[in-house]
Structure 1
Amino acid sequence: MENRISFWWAIVPLIAMIAAMLITIVYLEQGPHMPLLFGTAVAALVAWRSGSKWEDIEEAMYKGIRLALPAIIIIILIGLIIGSWIGSGVVATMILYGLNILTPALFLVSIAVICAVVSLAIGSSWSTMGTIGVAGMGIGLSMGIPPAMIAGAVISGSYFGDKMSPLSDTTNLAAGLTGTDLFVHIKHMWWTTVPGFIIALAVFWFLGRDFSAAGTDTADIATTMAVLQDSFVISPWLLLIPLAVFVMVGFKVPAIPALLVGVLLGFVAQIFVQGGSLSEAVGVLQGGYVIETGNILVDDLFNRGGLDSMMYTVSMILVAMSFGGILEYTGMLKAIMAQILKMAKTGGRLVASTVLSATATNAMCAEQYISIVVPSRMYASSYKEKNLASKNLSRALEDGGTLTSVFFAWNTCGVFILGTLGVSAFEYAAFAVFNYTVPLISIIYGLTGFTITKQQSDDYTPDTVQPE
């Protein structure tokens, strides 16, 4: 299916998409769907001009979409779990207890650490953001903290745990594709990940000083707590529902059945704990929870969830993956990567190029997995030629691919965060400190040679990697 496409023709769809994205979002104040469709059309025209048949272009789009199907299933389940946990009182209980325990000054640090621990235990940033993150947004907003800051802290913590967890799919993917032992890969990531998270926590502590208890309107917090207690049955027993999900995933139960259990438990609790009818509980799963308390903060936070709420996200992913599929499977992305490889003359530049290429792939193909898969194939032989250990490649892939996916509003991760936390990439980008600090540290390490190790005799062999 691939054709020989020049670098200059290969970047035409990307330039067209980005230009359309800027005009549509910045000037027209519309969503990213149409610019992505426009970019997809331009990519199809370039592929056709370069010799691809229309049926091959269609197949490229289908391949891109098929790659995202597991993510789409997770997104749908997250929509159901948000609706059922709001309707069951789980989210209200978490927020109420959080308001009693957490202080405004340390909230950003606390929520980042909590999300990091949960994500490390279950290996999923999306599940963490869709559960703990939603409750954290409610707590932080009640304290008067801007939503972009809260989202940045939630994202930073969630991606720290996801990146370092042996249960994470991206962690296993990066290790597996490069033939690196999983725990060697995780150990090598500590050099970039831990300093990045420490810097993020320091920034959140500094930002949190502006939200000390003395500067917080405690009357607003008290009002929010009273509204929650009037609107929901609050019980510590409800916390067993999220605990059950986290325990299941911790025992390596796959994410989909674990989330389904969470949906079912929330559905049952809405009927038997909150006193809702069967019809209302089913309606919440479909259309989300609806409440009118007169309190703007509570109404904005709790009117969400359900299958319908995720259709914007799903449609965005379908379009984005069609665009990415054409770039990937018609040879355009390969042409772009080949040009980048020409500039990677040294080992240090090679590491920096890997991080930047993974970031660029997140922008071009709008999918985190592609940003790991494609550069891993493109750069493996170059790392061998320069006598660099495979763990350098696997770390650079995660530093650039896993973490930067959140910065593009049209990427599946950016779209998911907008759907769950209600904050766009353009708003939270400056506060997702961990996600841009780690790639910068990785690039600096590459250019200076710090922690960059030479390959051993049997590196790049998946079954026989020498331990450190």
Structure 2
Amino acid sequence: MEKPKKKISLGLALIPFLVMIVAMTFVIIVFEGSPHIPILLGAVVAAFIAWMCGYSWSDLEKFIYQGITKVLPAVIILILVGLIISAWIGGGIVTTMIYYGLEIISPSFFLAAMLIICAIVTVMIGSSWSTIGTIGVAGMGIGISMGIPPAMIVGAIVSGAFFGDKMSPLSDTTVLASGIAGSKLSEHIKHMLYTTVPAFIIAFIVYFFMGLKFAGNTVNTENIDAVMNNLQANFVISPWLLLIPLVVILLVVKKVPALPALTVGIILGFLADILIQGGSIGEAVNALQGGYSIKTGNETVDHLLKQGGLDSMMYTISLAMVAMIFGGLMESTGMLNAIVEQILKLARTGKSLCATTVVSSFFTNVITAEQYISIIIPGRMYAKSFKDKELHPKNLSRALEDGGTITSALVPWSTDAVFVLSTLGVSAWAYAPYAVLNYCVPIISIIFSLIGYSVVYTNKKEATD
């Protein structure tokens, strides 16, 4: 006979989260390990508590599978991004971007330029991952050659990519947030301008002044010249190769789904490797699996171009699976709800409810390591409260993105942060302080909410709060 299921209390719900955080602190900071085991430990504790409260093993197994299922679309994208990085390096696309980037962009303006370029590209294609895996990889090559610290470069790339991901009508998170909240997509995007544009301006100013220290006399021009000469000696550098990323961008703009668009990019990069760069079919195929590598005699170039491949994504894929085991258990057993419900009690007014939603979405990101859940769970839980307080649905959709979409890359064990680590080789622990836009947006959103600026009511009254 099945045991009756008890409602899990706040105290019990916090235990798995606290265990995971403590274990994460020791494993990552003290032992310099990976977050997989601490997250699994948190999942084991969550499963044990749920079992003690009446959930059967078959229930828990189902919750785990449900959690993993949610991350499968991201896993497929990860696989394709790993392949496209390798194909585009071998095909000379990335090296062409690096070469012309070194010629055109000055070191003093590099960080600000990466913010703008990544923002524009992601607004056009709607995918931060695709931008990071292509433009971001090239940007890392350019920036490192200029002597700019990798963490700063990644901070600017992430800021630009997530601005675009948040503001693009093609972005899945943008569409998801507006749909969950019940607001029109156009209204949702316009309402996000209030918090996202000021954050973008702040980020631009910070990167501009940050870049001044790398101007002229502080940069080793001999190193840049050596990199450019080395690239030219080992690859065919041609502006025609830039047509390949342009084709992918145009496909996505024409509303071709991301998977076939990325597949076209992989095929074109593979063909460029063989037909333009003169590589062999065998080497090109092996590079798709194990990643591209080359020995040019220049250590900087060799390091920059040793990237990509299916194998390089396995760390991220395994972490995504582990994170969703924990997230699936926390969500389906009601533990996450128990925590968020207590937070909701703090929101007595419409203004505080908007701010609370931002905090809740970030907190959900920390617990579940997945930005989609950070939009879905608070969105479902707070929708009625927003309606009861006569707040326009676009307040909810904006708060979900300000606290969920934009902060995911700041959580070191999230799928976004691990993707950045796998792709660009820098962890969130290092780049988070430089991801200016990503932490400015939620801060601005909370401040604006509490003072009532841009908080819109359906009854057109500013505040009876």
Query: Same-fold call, TM > 0.5?
Result: yes
Q: Give the match for residue 268 of structure 1.
A: 271
State which drifts further: 17-26 or 40-49.
Answer: 40-49
Q: CA deviation at 1:188?
A: 0.5
- Deviation of the 1:321 alpha carbon: 0.4
Equivalent residue for 2:134? 131
What does 1:68-467 align with in structure 2 at a 5 Å threshold? 68-455=71-458
CA distance in 2, matches of 1:215, 1:278: 43
CA contact (8 A) 2:108 2:211 kept: yes
- Distance in 2 (CA, whole Å) between partners of 1:230 and 1:303 is 17
**1:59-105 deviation digits (Å, cap 9, x = unpaired):** 11111110011001001000000000001111100000000000000
Give the letter for the 1:362 counterpart.
N
Query: In the alignment, residue 232 of structure 1 is paired with which amino acid?
Result: F
Q: 1:236 to 1:377 in 2, by over 3 A?
A: same
The amino acid across from 2:245 in the alignment is: P
> Aligned equivalents of 2:211 and 2:79: distance in 1?
34
- Please, which runs of 5 or more residues in structure 1 have no aligned partner? 458-468
Deviates more, 1:3-12 or 1:252-261: 3-12
CA RMSD, Structure 1 to Structure 2 (Å): 1.1
Paired amino acid for 1:186: I
2:36 to 33, 36, 50: 33
Alpha carbons of structure 1 residues 3 and 163: separation in structure 2 relative to 1, 3 Å: farther
Instruction: Give the 5 Å matches for 1:4-83.
Output: 4-83=7-86
Classify the secondary structure of the residue corresponding to 2:407.
Answer: helix
Q: Which moved more, 1:394-403 or 1:1-10?
A: 1-10
Q: How many residues align?
A: 457
Contact 1:3 1:331 in 2 (8 A): no
Cα pair 1:2 1:331 within 8 Å, conserved? no
Contact 2:97 2:138 in 1 (8 A): yes
Report deviation, 1:360.
0.6
Structure 2, unpaired ranges of 5+: 461-465
| Paired residue secondary structure (1:11) | helix
> Does structure 2 conserve the Cα–Cα contact (< 8 Å) formed by 1:368 and 1:405?
yes
Question: Does the 8 Å contact 2:143/2:150 carry over to 1?
Answer: yes
Is the CA contact (8 Å cut-off) linking 1:147 and 1:423 kept in structure 2?
yes
What CA distance in whole angstroms lies between the structure 1 residues aligned with 2:315 and 2:34?
A: 10
Percent identity between matched residues is: 58
Normalized against structure 1, the TM-score is what? 0.96
2:463 maps to none
Cα distance in structure 1, aligned partners of 2:144 and 2:56? 52
Deviation at 1:46, TM superposition (A): 1.1
CA distance in 2, matches of 1:371, 1:301: 34
Runs of 4+ in 1 over 3 A off after TM superposition: none
* Displacement after TM superposition at 1:235 (Å): 1.2
Partners in 2 of 1:360 and 1:80 — Cα distance? 33
Mapped contact 2:5–2:53 kept (Cα < 8 A): no
CA contact (8 A) 1:87 1:266 kept: yes
One-letter code of the match for 1:62?
A: Y
**Amino acid in the other structure paired with 1:412:** T
Residue deviations 1:390-444, cap 9 Å, x none?
Answer: 1100000000000110111110001111011111000000000000001000000
Alignment check: 8 A CA contact 2:290 2:312 kept: yes
Alignment match, 1:463: none
The CA deviation string for residues 246-299 of structure 1, in whole angstroms up to 9 with x for no partner, is 010011100000000000001111111111111111001100101112322211
